[in-house]
Amino acid sequence: MLKLATRGSTLARWQADEVARLLRRADPHLEVELVVVETTGDRRQDLPVWELGGQGVFVKEVQVAVLDGRADVAVHSAKDLPSLTGPGLTLAAIPGRADPRDALVGSTLDGLEPGAVIATGSVRRRAQLAWLRPDLTFVELRGNIATRLDRVPPGGAVVVAAAALDRLGLKSRASEVLDVSAVLPQVGQGAIGVECRAEDHVAVGSLALIDDAHAHACVDAERSFLARLGGACDLPVGALARIDDNHVSIEGLLASPDGRVVLRARRAGPLADASSLARELAEELLAAGGEDLIPVGSAAG
């Protein structure tokens, strides 16, 4: 029996059910059960994520459920994970990754009139869209996917992960899926991160059966990039790693919250060097002026 801890949102439950399905397919004799956990991010919908403590507000309580033995495995959206895995845990599996891109619901980017309203709770999305369209107006928006889709501003748009729409059967709601050349995704976006206790060899062995080595390597590289920047939810950062024929390319972005400054660069090399290339990429952006964009308290290190 493996108990999977998850948030209670429809998307989080879908992801946990998908992990359970993959585990049962890999081992038909394995029994799997979900343990639903409420997180700080779920309880406090009235504040922006960065005011609640930034990176980790959607995962901490789920991780605690594993550490204290209520569950064996924690299932997360990989984009919600802090850049460094906490003590006692291991990121044991990243199943095959879905579309990492962002999507607009409401209007296309070119279809937005000057001054149109974009609703998003993401500083990364806001900064990049402001860079592309300085005329746009932005408003804060939090909540589950259904809530956000119900709050499309008149003549405007909301921004959501394309993978979330696809997983919930709402792909047709996207007015435009934004190319990564325009808006670089969040670290880990489109991936499911599966953690367990580092010393739980049974869980580690089971999760190894559903791990996608390439997806895992890409997410690890992106998290290395974020870790070098000291990234949190108050820092507009994006990254995407891709693998082709045992080589990896990683593109990274660091921006000012208002989108007036956007630094972007790319590194490529052997897959074995993915994490070191990601850290070098972060160093390049910091040296190009990124140090001045790091908020006090989020210093790169």
**Catalytic residue set:** 80
Euclidean distance between CA atoms 35 and 16, whole angstroms? 10
Record the tokens describing residue 74, joined without a space.
């924690």
Residues in the chain: 301
Note the helical H segments in the chain. 10-26, 40-43, 60-67, 123-132, 145-149, 162-167, 201-208, 213-229, 274-287
CA distances to 47, 155, 157, 228 from 151, rounded to whole Å, are: 17, 12, 9, 36
d(C-alpha 123, C-alpha 287), whole Å = 22
Q: For residue 83, with 0-12 CB atoms within 10 Å meaning exposed, 13-18 middle and 19 or more buried, which class applies?
A: buried
